[in-house]
Amino acid sequence: MESSKAHQDPFTVARGKLCTAEAGMTGDWRSSRPEIDSSKCILSKTGNKPCFLCWMYCPEGIVTKSIPVKIDYDYCKGCGICAQECPAKAIRMVAEQNID
Ligand code: SF4
Ligand code: SF4
């Protein structure tokens, strides 16, 4: 009997790994950016882990798993998933043209 690993498609496995910048400088695509209000972030307020839902759901893998949470804007494409998933509503999307 073959192990289940023998049936894994290497392409699918590779695509399933979280990695940064596979598609280049994805920050260039962005029309709005996520801004984190650390005073609302559960982690920053309590120091308790885990939350990191923004880290977990970011499809670019560019949110740090740290306190405070940070975003690498060179690669953030502005999809807004982090803002959607944040249970504390600590992340809001801001139009790029409204940023100095
Ligand atoms: S908007 Fe949020 S989830 Fe989307 S790429 Fe940027 S940091 Fe990641
Ligand atoms: S999802 Fe929201 S509350 Fe959780 S770590 Fe990220 S910013 Fe903080």
Predicted pLDDT at 27: 74
Question: Quick one: pLDDT at residue 5?
Answer: 53
User: Which of the ligands is closest to the CA of residue 82?
Assistant: 1
pLDDT of the residue at 50: 74
Amino acid 2: pLDDT: 46
Q: β-strands 91-95, 32-36: how paired?
A: antiparallel
For 9-14, the CB contacts below 8 A with 24+ separation are none
- Residue 28 C-beta-side C-alpha neighbours within 13 Å: 5
For residue 43, what pLDDT is reported?
Answer: 81
Residues enclosing ligand 2, CB less than 6 A?
36, 41-43, 51-54, 69, 86, 88, 90-91
pLDDT per residue, tens digit, the chain (100 aa), is: 444 555 655 555 555 555 665 666 767 778 999 999 999 999 877 877 779 999 999 999 999 999 899 999 999 999 999 999 999 999 999 998 855 5
Determine the Cα–Cα distance for residues 57 and 17; give it in Å rounded to an integer. Answer: 13
pTM of the model: 0.76
31/49 Cα distance (integer angstroms): 31
Position of tokens 């308790």?
A: 48
